[in-house]
Structure 1
Amino acid sequence: MKLDILVLAAHPDDAELGCAGTILKHAAMGYKVGVIDLTRGELGTRGSAEIRDKEAAAAAEILGLTVRVNLSLPDGFFENSREHQLPIISAIRQYRPEIVITNAYHDRHPDHGRANKIVEEACFLSGLRKITTEIDGAGQTEWRPKQVLHFIQDRYIHPDIVIDVTEFWEKKIESIYAYGSQFHNPEWEDEPQTYISTPEFIHVIEARAREFGKSIGVKFAEGFTSLNILGVNSLFDLKP
């Protein structure tokens, strides 16, 4: 199965928080979009890995994903090593995306910056034919995505590009709240309160999107960074 866009994120709910509007927008345009969660988020204070699995599946339905899978790397302890690179390389070769989106360069949660680094390198290594990987016993062909973008998370990073997601904002919020164990939910009052489970946290997400939206004259936008210089075909493609 070939995807147009593949989001490779550290935890279930990272994709929803970081780029759900962009996922929804491109799915609505007919592009095939998938999400691969590197870990099951088993170290999270609230809920469990099994609950997060169900929540991720519910969010995938809301987002209209073509595919969502989990690599089950160790939450909090995955490393930029050959052992943990190879499953990511195999996934890139399996789905052959044109564009990969991953976590922020650096962030409050150390897994996010580590995921950024391991995915960025895996996208390059996936194009080296002498690195061998298999799926279902068959060898895989090398593949390198054309573009790797990083969404912006808790810590502010100046974006290289912002995308208008106003039309899809309410659906993005719905996908976030599919994770009832993680975000504000009166039914989980007996669980410990965390930074992201407070009612105020979603206001932070909205404020960031409004700030990025204001920069291009729309209500809500999502920001992305890139290690590469981004180009356009015409000056008229630029939005003030």
Structure 2
Amino acid sequence: MNTVDILAFGAHPDDVEIGAGGILAKHVKQGYRVAICNLTEAELSSNGTVERRRMEAKRAAAILGVGQVIDLAFPDRGLGGREQIDKMTQVIRQYKPKVVLAPYFEDRHPDHVACSRMVKEAVFDAGIRKKKTPGDEEAHRVHQLYYYFINDVHPADVIVDISDVYEQKMESILAYQSQFNPKEGEVGTPLNSPTYLAMVRGRDQLWGHQIGSLYGEALKSPTPLKKTSLIEA
């Protein structure tokens, strides 16, 4: 099993692409190894099927250049158990990421909030030497945990310029046709409303504007960010 530089967790397939797809594509382009870990298969989604969502997730990952998609198949709307956190801890120890990404802990969807809390616990547990996991993997300390935004806008601690990969990000989101391009007779949802993708693009433009770029993706840090100097090359 290959280790990765960045491991991005989402409650459902498409969460990571919406909130951090550009960041993942950018780092793949820079030569870093990236993986996505989806906690559920979104089996309770109003539109689409589990099988179709799996295919869409593979397509989206290929568009971003992500080499590994991990499906934990926890129950949709059933997140939060200790066994689940232990499994996530095991994944972190197996892939040994330097950076972990998780949904921001304030969001309209309870699964996004639950995923955020669970990732924080799993990152903490992964570094405890005496903490045992099912595969008895060695402890691993993640260098940095960041939260990305799915449905909302909040003040950022870090904004990454994703202008050069932005259309790649949007293409990865649109790979989820079952969610963003409903067929006749399917159910209307917040995701397939005419305003949702416009919101995502407008939000990314806003964050880009704040750093003098066309597009950006924002991250929040749970702890202060270390600086050795205020002047960087």
User: Is the shorter-chain TM-score for this pair beyond 0.5, marking a shared fold?
Assistant: yes
Q: How far apart, CA to CA, are the structure 2 residues paired with 1:56 and 1:178?
A: 8
How much has 1:153 moved relative to structure 2? 1.9
DSSP 3-state at the match of 2:35: strand
Q: Given that residues 10 and 39 in structure 1 are in contact (C-alpha distance below 8 angstroms), is that contact kept between their aligned partners in structure 2? A: yes
Aligned ranges 1:133-172 → 2 under 5 Å: 133-135=133-135, 139-172=136-169
Partner of 1:106: 106
For 2:143, the aligned partner's letter is: K
202-211 or 147-156: which moved more? 147-156
How much has 1:121 moved relative to structure 2? 1.0
Q: How far apart, CA to CA, are the structure 1 residues paired with 2:87 and 2:172?
A: 26
- Deviating 4+ runs (over 3 angstroms): none
For 1:225, the aligned partner's letter is: K
Aligned ranges 1:1-150 → 2 under 5 Å: 1-79=2-80, 81-135=81-135, 139-150=136-147
Partner of 1:174: 171
- Which residue of 207, 213, 231 corresponds with 2:202? 207
How much has 1:233 moved relative to structure 2? 4.6
DSSP 3-state at the match of 2:212: coil
Q: How far apart, CA to CA, are the structure 1 residues paired with 2:225 and 2:127?
A: 21
For 2:114, the aligned partner's letter is: R
Q: How far apart, CA to CA, are the structure 2 residues paired with 1:211 and 1:189?
A: 33
Q: How far apart, CA to CA, are the structure 2 residues paired with 1:221 and 1:143?
A: 30
The alignment's TM-score, normalised by the length of structure 2, stands at 0.96
Q: How many residues align?
A: 232
Q: How far apart, CA to CA, are the structure 2 residues paired with 1:228 and 1:180?
A: 37
Q: Given that residues 184 and 198 in structure 1 are in contact (C-alpha distance below 8 angstroms), is that contact kept between their aligned partners in structure 2? A: no
Are residue 219 (structure 1) and residue 214 (structure 2) matched?
A: yes
How much has 1:13 moved relative to structure 2? 0.2
Q: How far apart, CA to CA, are the structure 1 residues paired with 2:217 and 2:227?
A: 18
- C-alpha deviations, 1:76-117, integer Å up to 9, x for none? 1111x3211111001001100000001111101011111101
DSSP 3-state at the match of 2:177: coil
Are residue 198 (structure 1) and residue 193 (structure 2) matched?
A: yes
Q: How far apart, CA to CA, are the structure 1 residues paired with 2:142 and 2:209?
A: 31
**Backbone CA RMSD of aligned residues:** 1.3
- C-alpha deviations, 1:18-63, integer Å up to 9, x for none? 0000000000000000000011011111111111111101111111
The alignment's TM-score, normalised by the length of structure 1, stands at 0.93
For 1:224, the aligned partner's letter is: L
